[in-house]
Structures are given as structure tokens and as C-alpha cells.
């Protein structure tokens, strides 16, 4: 039996996938039965890093999704359009889908999975969250016996690279971003990564698999890392923390509360936590479930080979399912979610906070601060006061006890109005 694959996109990931499919020996025994039938690109004249017979390559991607000979369409062009329309057309034509496209799945997954369900089609997305780390399969299958209570992850390699360099070298954000761009770890337009959009897309996918309801990406509270300074990294270190951009998703703790907690923001992580030592472009996901307890996955979240590893695993899974049950859908591989999760507003969440304040260097500042925090039921865990002042200003860092976001924001509003206060450059949550 042969399974014919049409690959849309022959860039970083598409090239990695084609290389594996062309070199199947020593890998999964089903791979020799999987053949590249067509490859779609934008520019036919581009020099390619993999040899594909010229008659298989086309710039007419519609002709691939309409080709009756193709069983599986592998979408590796990225972005929303034309990816979304091509996926929907392929589904309408009865083709199974493998995609690495987190943006299209996080924003239009509902339409895509509804269409796929009606048609009895697989839509596989292992590579769409955390590249080479097999976390989707784990959530769908291997952890199926668990009630998952929490999923916390470093799901964006670019920001983890930047924050790791800032931590180890004391470098500034802007200089580190520029270097990451030179090395190809950050895009020319870094918005999707540094402002947390990419991480939010991945958390929407991971949380919906972990908690069993679809998650709208626009419901996820999101903050990026642009405001993190080398001063914050230094204070975090002094207090026993590192700073990571985390995606955090939690199941409601009480039966009466049906709201999920999902957020993406820079977070102070205690140095002994399993995610604290995940550095560079590496991704990691910590999952807490009953009865398994804690399980941590880590590995390459991006890159040609790592991402292709996940894409090819999905292709093999579809081919294996088609071989063993050609007229049925394997329910472990399909999407069964139909309802949207209710997501708690950020004001309802409870966390410890790190606050860096610049005050006028006058007597009584600490007392004023303590009173303002106390008035709003914000208890303090630690205070660092730097005697070094610049322009008549002193820097004070406080770490609170666990408090509600609502109370913290009320205290911050009151502190802003104190005559001794200059500014509050940074407010971060603590894991």
C-alpha cells in the first residue's frame, strides 16, 4: 500500500519533512509506504536544500488540495491565508491534514475541526505546539487516564533565548534581541514572539487538549517580555529567581468555579523549579495530573529537523490508522471538543507579585508603601531597598505574598498617587 502526501510549503519545516520521507531506512517501517506526490511553493525558481523532482513541484497549491491521488495534505506554509482556505478545501475533498501551523489552529481550529469531523478526516498538529516535543500525543493519548490540573510551559524558544542571555550575561533586552535576530533565532519583526502572541496560540492548543474544551486565543491574558530590564533580572537573581516567559493554564480548583485560568506573561520562577533551568531556545512543559503527579517534557521547540520529526510522526499515525481501519476514525486521534472553556478574568487570579518602584529618596517611603499595600490586603514577603540612587531616586523591590490580582492593582493605583513615588517600572508575577 502507498500513501500519497502533498506538501504545501518547502521552507524550513517542509525541507526537513521531505528529507525524512526521502530517507526512510532505519526509521518507522511504514515510512517506505509514504510517498511525496506533490510539493507546493510560492517561488518555483528558488534554490532548494532538498532534491525534489521538478515535475512534482508547483506554485498552484489548489491543484494539490484538489488532486484525487493525494491522501494526506501536509500544510507547512504558515500564517492564516491561504493556509486556512487550503486546509478547508483539502478537508472538503476528503484529504487528511497534518499541519505545524499554530496560528491557523489557535484562531480557526473550531471551523477546521468541525469540517473535519463532518467529513471523517484527521487533523494532526503535533508540530504546532513546541516543535519536536511529543506533547500533543501525550495529552491526547498517553496521559488520557489523568485528570490534569495544571500545564505550565516555556513554549517560545525566541523569548527563552533572550531571557537566558539576559540572565547569564546581564545583557539588555534590546541588545539581546538584536543579536538573536542576527543569529536567526528571532524574526525581523519579533512581535509574535516577544509580545507573547505565539505563546498564546500554543497555550490555546495545549490547554484545550489538557482540559477538554476549546479555548479562544483572545480569552488568554497576554504580556510579552519587552519591559524586562537587566535590573529586573539582577533583582530576581538576588531573590533566588530567574525570569521566564511562561504559559500557565489551570483547571478550576473548586467545583462551583467553572472558569479555567490561562495566561501568558513573564514570570519569576524559583531557581529550583524544573522550568528554571530550561535555557536557550529549548522548550519545556510541566504537566500536573491525577494520578501521575508531575511530568516534564523538554526539547527542541523549533528547527527544521525537530519540527519535521513531529510532522512525520503525524503522517505515520494517519497512514497507520488508514491501514488498520480504513473506513473508521480512530477516536484517540480525532478532536472531540465541542464547547468553549470559560476563562477567568485576570483580576480573579491569585499570585505572588514582584514590583520594582522608583521613589524620591526621602524618609518614610517604606512606611508609606507598607501602608498602601496593607490597606488593600497585600502582605509583603520581601523588600529590597537599594541605597544607590540616581537623580535623587531610590529603587525599591517588593515581593508580595499570594494576593488577588484585583487587590494588587488597587494597591498599585494608590501607590502611584503617593507624593514620595516617582514611577513603577515593573510588575511581574511569581510562579
Selected range binding ligand NAP among 70-78, 176-184, 350-358, 361-369, rule: CB under 6 A = 70-78
Find all residues with CB under 8 Å of 307, minimum gap 6, and list them. Answer: 12, 13, 16, 100, 127, 131, 132
Q: Which of 82, 212, 234, 305 binds ligand NAP (CB under 6 A)?
A: 82
Alpha-carbon span 229 to 354, nearest angstrom:
13
Give the C-alpha separation, 196 to 221, whole Å. Answer: 10
Judged by beta carbon, residue 52 or residue 220, the one nearer ligand NAP is 52
Rounded to a whole number of angstroms, the minimum distance from the CB of residue 77 to ligand NAP is 4
* Residue 81 C-beta: closest distance to ligand NAP, Å: 8
DSSP 340: B
By CB under 6 A, residue 134 contacts ligand NAP: no
Q: How far apart are CA 388 and CA 182, in angstroms?
A: 35
Question: If residue 280 lies in a helix (H) or strand (E), which one and from where to where?
Answer: none
Nearest 5°: the CA angle 177, 273, 210 is 85
**Helix residue ranges, H only, 254-404:** 304-324, 365-375
Q: Tell how far CA 310 is from the center of its chain.
A: 16
* Among 192, 246, 302, 318, interactor with ligand NAP by CB under 6 A: 302
Q: Which of 100, 135, 403, 415 binds ligand NAP (CB under 6 A)?
A: 100
CA 39 – CA 14 distance, rounded (Å): 9
Q: Which is nearer to ligand NAP, 83 or 372 (CB)?
A: 83
Closest-CB residue for ligand NAP?
11
Annotated catalytic residue 202: yes
Site for ligand NAP in 316-375 (CB under 6 A): none
81/338 with CB nearer ligand NAP: 81
| Site for ligand NAP contains 315 (CB under 6 A) | no
- The CA distance from 38 to 223, in Å, is 41
Catalytic hit among 89, 102, 202, 244 = 202
Reading the block at residue 362, the C-alpha cell is 526621602
Q: Is 78 in the site for ligand NAP (CB under 6 A)?
A: yes
Rounded to a whole number of angstroms, the minimum distance from the CB of residue 24 to ligand NAP is 21
Which residues sit opposite 299 in a β-bridge?
283
Q: Are 262 and 345 in contact (CB under 8 A)?
A: no
Q: Binding of ligand NAP at residue 190 (CB under 6 A)?
A: no
Query: In the stretch 248-287, what mask flags binding to ligand NAP with x, by CB under 6 A?
Result: ----------------------------------------
**Partners of 222 in the β-ladder:** 264
Q: Is 52 in the site for ligand NAP (CB under 6 A)?
A: no
Residue 13 binds ligand NAP, judged by CB under 6 A:
yes
Residue 184 or 293 with smaller CB distance to ligand NAP? 184
- Residue 159's nearest CA partner among 138, 190, 183, 136 is 190
**DSSP code of residue 28:** -
Does 77 interact with ligand NAP (rule: CB under 6 A)? Answer: yes
Strand partners, 397: 356, 384
Size of the site for ligand NAP (CB under 6 A): 24
Segment lying near ligand NAP (by CB under 6 A), choices 77-85, 174-182, 189-197, 243-251:
77-85
45 binds ligand NAP (CB under 6 A): no
Q: How far apart are CA 252 and CA 341, in angstroms?
A: 11
Residue 198 CB, nearest distance to ligand NAP (Å)? 8
Cα–Cα distance, 159 to 280 (Å, whole number)? 9
Of the listed pieces 87-95, 98-106, 217-225, 356-364, which binds ligand NAP according to CB under 6 A?
A: 98-106
Per DSSP, 273 falls in state: S
Contact residue for ligand NAP among 70, 91, 127, 138 (CB under 6 A): 127
Shortest distance in whole angstroms from residue 204 CB to ligand NAP: 14
Cell 493519548 belongs to 141
Does residue 42 touch ligand NAP according to CB under 6 A? Answer: yes
Site membership for ligand NAP, residue 305 (CB under 6 A):
no
Q: How far is the CB of 273 from ligand NAP (least distance, A)?
A: 25
In the chain, the largest separation of any two C-alpha atoms, in whole Å, equals 82
- Residue closer to ligand NAP (CB basis): 65 or 322: 65
Dihedral over alpha carbons 71, 76, 79, 81 (to 10 degrees): -40
Q: How far is CA 183 from CA 226, 281, 313, in A?
A: 19, 12, 29
Which SS3 state, helix, strand or coil, does residue 358 take? strand
Residues that bind ligand NAP (CB under 6 A): 9-14, 40-43, 46, 61, 76-78, 82, 100-102, 127, 131, 302-303, 307
Which of the residues are catalytic? 202
Amino acid at each position: 500500500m502507498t500513501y500519497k502526501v502533498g506538501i504545501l510549503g518547502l521552507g524550513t519545516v517542509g525541507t526537513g519533512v521531505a528529507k525524512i520521507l526521502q530517507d526512510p531506512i532505519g526509521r518507522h517501517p511504514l515510512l517506505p509506504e509514504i510517498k511525496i506526490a506533490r510539493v507546493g511553493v510560492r517561488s518555483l525558481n528558488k534554490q532548494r536544500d532538498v532534491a525534489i523532482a521538478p515535475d512534482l513541484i508547483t506554485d498552484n497549491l489548489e491543484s494539490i488540495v484538489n488532486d484525487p491521488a493525494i491522501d494526506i495534505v501536509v500544510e507547512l506554509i504558515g500564517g492564516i491565508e491561504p493556509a486556512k482556505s487550503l486546509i478547508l478545501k483539502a478537508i472538503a475533498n476528503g484529504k487528511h491534514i497534518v499541519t505545524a501551523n499554530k496560528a491557523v489552529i489557535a484562531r480557526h481550529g473550531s471551523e477546521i475541526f468541525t469540517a473535519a469531523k463532518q467529513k471523517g478526516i484527521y487533523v494532526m498538529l503535533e508540530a504546532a505546539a513546541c516543535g519536536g516535543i511529543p506533547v500533543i500525543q501525550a495529552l491526547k493519548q498517553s496521559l488520557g487516564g489523568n485528570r490534569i490540573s495544571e500545564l505550565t510551559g516555556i513554549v517560545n524558544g525566541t523569548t527563552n533565548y533572550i531571557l537566558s542571555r539576559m540572565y547569564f550575561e546581564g545583557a539588555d533586552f534590546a541588545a539581546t534581541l538584536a543579536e538573536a535576530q542576527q543569529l536567526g533565532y528571532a524574526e525581523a519583526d519579533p512581535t509574535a514572539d516577544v509580545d507573547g502572541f505565539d505563546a498564546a496560540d500554543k497555550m490555546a492548543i495545549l490547554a484545550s487538549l489538557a482540559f477538554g474544551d476549546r479555548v479562544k486565543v483572545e480569552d488568554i491574558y497576554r504580556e510579552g517580555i519587552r519591559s524586562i530590564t537587566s535590573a529586573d533580572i539582577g533583582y530576581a537573581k538576588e531573590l533566588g529567581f530567574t525570569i521566564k516567559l511562561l504559559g500557565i493554564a489551570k483547571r478550576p480548583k473548586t467545583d462551583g468555579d467553572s472558569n479555567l485560568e490561562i495566561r501568558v506573561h513573564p514570570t519569576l520562577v524559583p531557581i529550583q523549579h524544573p522550568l528554571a533551568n530550561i535555557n536557550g531556545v529549548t522548550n519545556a512543559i510541566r504537566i500536573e495530573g491525577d494520578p501521575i503527579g508531575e511530568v516534564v517534557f523538554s526539547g527542541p521547540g523549533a528547527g527544521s529537523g525537530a519540527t519535521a520529526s513531529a510532522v512525520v510522526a503525524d503522517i505515520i499515525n494517519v497512514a497507520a490508522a488508514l491501514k488498520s481501519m480504513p473506513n473508521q476514525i480512530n477516536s484517540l486521534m480525532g478532536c472531540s471538543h465541542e464547547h468553549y472553556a470559560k476563562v477567568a478574568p485576570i483580576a480573579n487570579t491569585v499570585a505572588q507579585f514582584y514590583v520594582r518602584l522608583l521613589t524620591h529618596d526621602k524618609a518614610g517611603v517604606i512606611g508609606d508603601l507598607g501602608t498602601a499595600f496593607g490597606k488593600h490586603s497585600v502582605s509583603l514577603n520581601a523588600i529590597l531597598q537599594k541605597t544607590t540612587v540616581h537623580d535623587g531616586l531610590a529603587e525599591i523591590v517588593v515581593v508580595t505574598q499570594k494576593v488577588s490580582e484585583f487587590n494588587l492593582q488597587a494597591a498599585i493605583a494608590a501607590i502611584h498617587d503617593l507624593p514620595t513615588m516617582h514611577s513603577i517600572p515593573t510588575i511581574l508575577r511569581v510562579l
